[in-house]
Structure 1
């Protein structure tokens, strides 16, 4: 299957008191079912791009793997929407929590799935990384400029991982957590240390996004939007610097401000 994050769709548009038929770009939604050691593990609804990175990042964030070497074989059949993963070890998770559980692309009750392994896999950041205020503004501007797919569809989340100066990689997905898993998977594949990296994100910093950032291992998360109160509490507990409302040359620091300098 050709990787396409969006496709053309004929729609009816109402504008200036008229109905017209126009061609529009619509975000692609794709279900990918994972089998781990021949056992059905989960189905992720995602954008059909960078799927191997998504699988690696998802399994790592759920504590199934710690490194690329934990996977003996990975076979992606994206024409049918399946990925078969063989580990170098037994699957020790209680699969009753995972089997056939849908991972939704939107915000909702299906996200309770992540609470199964959050306590075991969330990490307290130990980084002493600092970044300058003008670098924060610059990185968010770069993320916005890179988000061509969002501009076309209006239906995608965008994220990037950076050393505080330049992006390592930028990824988009209909699911905000999927975009972060793709970044995590890229770092695993490329053997990039994550501890001193910065996560730049287009959407709201919810508790699930803050937990995902802690699972990845970053100590700083930047967003153009706002955090929730629970996300701020978790950021304090997990020693993560959360910065939001990065817009028009200003931003708010919600936790651990010592990492942000002039």
Structure 2
């Protein structure tokens, strides 16, 4: 996921030749039933999981059983679905800061969360210590981390230059392993956007947690659709912006 590239490293008055770890970014074109669906700039890992999660969260497929085959070669991902004549429409939302189409969120058309899943604040803090402790991030400083969890149990972790790509991967992992995503939650290293909220709603993942910030549109959308949004989860603190009934508050442990 990274290569060592030459650079001049400056430290005060010291200047020296250096090799530094730089995260890979590659273009990958997705074709569905022979038609171009999109081209993503991303980290070249967990590609079948990404394709599965992307097709599902963009509502091109309704489930894993609609995928007949996935073929990956060089910079091209080709998918054949059970419905060969399905028309690929535009995305239904603007992506927050990462490109997208020119239409806006309509919360009336989004699914509502159907889940009785609960976690504790201590489980969130403990999981954060494990999930966000990334050697790749320490080396490169250039990736986002997204994890799919059940309590403190890490189900899947994805690291990518784009947090939306990483979220699609862990959702795809859950689908390919036929998990009940309503009994899981996701933790992200970066900002929670409205697009990440939308993807969680499509997958019926009831809670999204970040060690960073969220946006107003993400909070407003989550409030109307039953999703729990937690931000700034670090150092024994957190902000629960929506549906706090899913998170039980306990005293922080060591």
Q: TM-score, normalised by structure 1?
A: 0.88
The one-character-per-residue Cα deviations of 1:88-146 (angstroms, maximum 9, x if unpaired) are: 11343355x37xxxx99x924x2336x5897698421111111111111111111122x
Q: Given the superposition, is the C-alpha separation of residues 122 and 76 from structure 1 closer, same or farther in structure 2, using an over 3 Å criterion?
A: farther
Contact kept? 1:11, 1:22, Cα under 8 Å: yes
> Are 2:97 and 1:107 equivalent residues in the alignment?
yes
Contact kept? 2:117, 2:183, Cα under 8 Å: yes
Contact kept? 1:156, 1:172, Cα under 8 Å: yes
Which of 180, 196, 205 lines up with 1:218 in the alignment? 205
1:86 corresponds in structure 2 to: 80
> Are 2:122 and 1:134 equivalent residues in the alignment?
yes
Q: TM-score, normalised by structure 2?
A: 0.90
Q: Given the superposition, is the C-alpha separation of residues 206 and 156 from structure 1 closer, same or farther in structure 2, using an over 3 Å criterion?
A: same
Unaligned residue ranges in structure 2 (runs of 5+)? 250-254
> 2: CA distance between counterparts of 1:41 and 1:127?
31
Contact kept? 1:206, 1:231, Cα under 8 Å: yes
Q: Given the superposition, is the C-alpha separation of residues 61 and 82 from structure 1 closer, same or farther in structure 2, using an over 3 Å criterion?
A: same
State how 1:187-206 maps to structure 2 within 5 Å: 187-206=174-193
Q: Given the superposition, is the C-alpha separation of residues 122 and 10 from structure 1 closer, same or farther in structure 2, using an over 3 Å criterion?
A: farther
Shift of 1:202: 0.5
Contact kept? 1:61, 1:121, Cα under 8 Å: no
> 2: CA distance between counterparts of 1:154 and 1:83?
28
How large is the Cα RMSD of the aligned pairs?
2.2
> Are 2:215 and 1:228 equivalent residues in the alignment?
yes
